[in-house]
A = this chain, B = another copy of it.
């Protein structure tokens, strides 16, 4: 090897392996694809709708929070100043408000000390994986297809992820059991299972309640933790709300991730994790997993910005810790968009005429469209460049093979007119491809 020159230059081999993993490009792609094709209608990112946001409200929420600190908590003006401007507690400042909101909205009853407020749900996932993965023998199971944020966080920690197939009713407990046994047969430890039970990203599937109960039993039988992520739970299309795993959990088997990105707004980057699992330290002291996550957080972000917590705290106070009611218009908006997407597919790509199918999600942002050819990067480039429509290859969300012929469609931030026009364009491309196949 040649002696390195005096100017610093790094090669891929000198950087962590995660940086050569295509997985880490996917989320950047999802966030930035819209800006690369400004003219196209994009079903790509699961971006929240921001039409209800009002810049002037930020000041109102800050005022609501400072008034809450002064009036409800009896803080002095100096203490209020400190709460907004200084470093705060590592595990969060608005934990009480988060716990009250969870009780009202989700029937999840949790000690505020068992909540860690995080910089979005992504930080929470990293903290939990770092706590649970002790070395190369610890394995994280992830629904397949699954959310790239959890597999990406695992890559950063050199943690092995094992896919567990979903069916049309979400994570299949039998498939999970088989995966757990396969992992143990290899001499490895399945530590946790990541799952989005409601309106999953990317597939749009939801787990029936009996499956949820079976999953909890299995977690106890097999000594697993369930990592439940619930970003879309509010956004039911049908009006039905199934209980979260955490609300059914009597055995501390569920670590529950939540976020205010979709129910309040993403620009605050405030999420949280409920981690009430008892921990016994080497010295015999008893603590809970939230305290351990807090120690890790002190070396990741120190604490979640006080300013961001104050604005979200102010929103929670303003709505009496009942976001579900406050978000009624937003829930209606997303319901309307999912209905519009389903209607547009029926209109432009009828299943009785074309060999395609799609699932009918009970809610959330995402739907999965299956076509009889590979919906790959090349087809996506043609869609964007020639047809003015963007979507995400489901392939991106599978850990191994799978999803080659599936398209993830998100209609979360478009107007019904854009949805119809976008589906018309996509249908044009799909039909062009199908009829080319007839030549």
Residues of A within 8 A of B (CB): 4, 6-20, 24-25, 27-28, 31-32, 47-48, 50, 53-55, 58-59, 62, 66, 77, 80-82, 84-90, 119-120, 122-123, 126, 130-134, 149, 152-153, 155-157, 191, 219-221, 223, 225, 251-253, 261, 265-270, 277-282, 289, 292, 294-296, 298-308, 311
Q: How far is the CA of A424 from the CA of B388 in the complex (A)?
A: 74
7 pairs of A and B residues whose beta carbons are closest in the complex: A267-B306, A152-B299, A6-B220, A269-B305, A8-B252, A4-B223, A53-B85
CB pair A299–B126 under 8 Å, yes or no, is: yes
Point out the residues of chain B lying under 8 angstroms from A20, CB to CB: 281-282
Complex contacts, A32 vs chain B, CB 8 Å? 89
Tell me the bound Cα distance from A152 to B298 in angstroms: 9
A86-B48, A308-B305 known; A24 and B62 CB under 8 Å?
A: no
Known A-B contacts A11-B280, A89-B32, A308-B308; A300 and B66 likewise in contact (beta carbons under 8 Å)? no
How far apart are A74's CB and chain B's nearest CB, in angstroms? 16
Report Cα–Cα, A278/B191, bound state, in Å: 38
In the complex the two chains form, is B301's CB within 8 Å of A122's CB? yes
Contact A131 B15 (CB under 8 A): yes
Contact A87 B301 (CB under 8 A): no
Q: Which chain B residues lie closer than 8 Å to A59 at the CB level?
A: 59, 62
CB A150 to nearest CB in B, in angstroms, measures 9
Residues of B with C-beta under 8 A to A280: 9-12
A9 near B278 with CB under 8 A, answer yes
Q: Which B residues are in CB contact (< 8 Å) with A156?
A: 130, 296, 299-300
* Cβ B87 vs Cβ A267 within 8 A: yes
- Out of B10, B15, B86, name the residue touching A278 (CB < 8 Å): B10
Distance in angstroms between the alpha carbons of A132 and B88 in the assembled complex: 30
Q: A155-B299, A156-B296, A269-B301 are in contact. Are A58 and B87 (CB under 8 A)?
A: no
A285 to chain B: closest residue by CB:
B12
| A149 partner residues in chain B, CB cutoff 8 A | 299, 302
Taken together, the copies of this chain in the complex come to 2
Give the nearest-CB partner of A14 in chain B. B134
Instruction: Decide: A298 near B27, CB < 8 A? Known: A6-B220, A131-B16, A308-B305.
Output: yes
- Say yes or no: A304-B85 contact (C-beta < 8 A), given A252-B7, A299-B149: no
Measured between C-beta atoms, what is the minimum distance from A186 to chain B in Å?
19
CB of B131 within 8 A of CB of A19, answer yes
Once the chains are docked, how many angstroms separate the CA of A406 from the CA of B3? 42
Chain B residue contacts of A80, Cβ below 8 A = 55
Residues of B within 8 A of A27 (CB): 298-299, 302
Chain B residues positioned under 8 Å from A299 (CB to CB): 18, 24, 27, 122, 126, 149, 152-153, 155-156
B277, A8: Cβ atoms under 8 Å? Answer: yes
Q: Give every chain B residue within 8 A of A54 (Cβ-Cβ).
A: 81
Q: Which residues of B contact A123 (CB under 8 A)?
A: 300-301
A134 to chain B, nearest CB (A): 5
- Whole-angstrom distance between the Cβ of A13 and the nearest chain B Cβ: 8
Of A28, A90, A132, most B-chain CB atoms within 10 Å: A28
A183 to chain B, nearest CB (A): 16
Q: How far is the CA of A306 from the CA of B305 in the complex (A)?
A: 11
